[in-house]
Homo-oligomer: A and B are copies of this chain.
Amino acid sequence: MFKIVEWKKNTVVMIDQRILPAKEVYLVLKDYKAVAKAIKEMVVRGAPAIGVSAAMGFALGALKVKTKEKKVLKRELKKITRVLAATRPTAVNLFWALERMNGVVESNADLTVEELKKRLVDEANTIHDEDIEINRAIGRNGAKLLKKNSTVLTHCNAGALATAGYGTALGVIRGAIEAGKNVKVFADETRPFMQGTRLTAWELKKDNIDVTLITDNMAGHMMSKGLIDAVVVGADRIASNGDVANKIGTYMVAVLAKEHKIPFYVAAPLSTIDMKIKDGTGIPIEERDTKEVTHWNGKRVAPAGINVLNPAFDVTPGRLVAGIVTEKGVATRPYRTAIKRLFSK
């Protein structure tokens, strides 16, 4: 089985998701700046995987600071935090992971520099391993929502490749299959980065899960033909009222699901829920290079001199979400209270 992001002999090893499925290439990253670049350029993507990568980048950065003085290490770690935090704005797991790593620094004032470095490497690996366990719990909780024979539409990739392994939305599908259900998947290709075509189709095929690829604009047609029983997607940030920021096009799928009375579920760990944010309007939406839309493999497809927009995410209001599947259970409307309840479990 492929690995998404791994700590290996004081380096961070990542599968290069930009060139999947054509080639399965692993990049060996030797300093935190390389990790930051990898997050920014989407070598690794998906909110939980970004969180794990940021934690490992932080540990790697700590490891490479040549000092015996705690003060110097802490000063450098502030810079490292800044650089890693500046990579991508929407996925809150990035900030969550950096906060957790900085928390380890703060709460271990008694450790020597070398001891603290080791402790940070351990914490990054713990975040990695916990993420897989969390995904398996999401899978078990979400499995119950799917009927014995179900075709599930998913958008983007919230699979093993978006996490440390197993996946959130695809974790629900894997969980249902492990529970003996017959689940087939429709995957939106997910323009412009083609996570559906390149990543979701690839990892489901590897697991021998029945997957049908469609372009994003076919989702409504397939629903109107009665081919879709449920929608399950991941999330990059969930506001405390249940509004969900996820890959651009998710909102479109949610509106289509409402029109066809198909349940629309979001699967995400609690670390994706941002309790500091009141509603979706507070979630920063990343605008990426318009070349992702106008070019293909470096070659221009669109005419020059036109306007182009490339928001990487959109916000689906909680009213369109039938349930948020987390490791602590499934939250349903009204989300403000249901989410609070999950955190107190």
Contact = CB atoms under 8 A, between A and B. Distances in A.
A190 B293 CA distance: 12
A284 interface: no
A322 interface: no
Nearest to A188: B217
Nearest to A220: B252
Interface string A312-339: 0011000000000000000000000000
Contacts of A249: 215-218, 220
A259 B260 CA distance: 13
A307 interface: yes
Contact of A201 (B220, B248, B302): B302
Given A212-B308, A297-B297, 8 more contacts: A191-B215, A192-B215, A202-B303, A212-B306, A215-B310, A220-B249, A220-B255, A259-B259
B221 A311 contact: yes
A81 interface: no
Contact of A214 (B205, B219, B293): B293
B306 A219 contact: no
Copies of the chain in the assembly: 2
A305 interface: yes
A149 to B, nearest CB: 17
The 3 nearest A-B residue pairs measured at CB: A217-B249, A220-B252, A212-B307
Contacts of A256: 252, 255
B191 A191 contact: yes
Main secondary structure of the interface of A (DSSP, over half): mixed
A229 B165 CA distance: 43
Interface string A128-172: 000000000000000000000000000100000000000000000
Given A191-B216, A215-B191, A205 B306 contact: yes
Q: Which of A155, A215, A220, A248 has the most CB of B within 10 A?
A: A215
Contacts of A205: 303, 305-306
A197 interface: yes
A210 interface: yes
Interface in A252-306: 252, 255-256, 258-259, 293-294, 296-297, 299-303, 305-306
A213 interface: yes
A211 interface: yes
A298 to B, nearest CB: 11
A89 interface: no
Residue of A201, A217, A259, A294 ringed by the most chain B CB atoms within 10 A: A217
- Most B CB contacts (10 A, CB to CB) among A189, A192, A248, A296 go to A189
Contact of A217 (B217, B224, B306, B307): B217
A194 interface: yes
A252 B224 CA distance: 10
A198 interface: yes
Contacts of A296: 296-297
A251 interface: yes
B213 A307 contact: yes
14 contacts: A190-B217, A198-B303, A201-B302, A211-B306, A212-B307, A215-B248, A218-B248, A218-B309, A218-B314, A220-B249, A224-B314, A255-B255, A255-B259, A259-B259
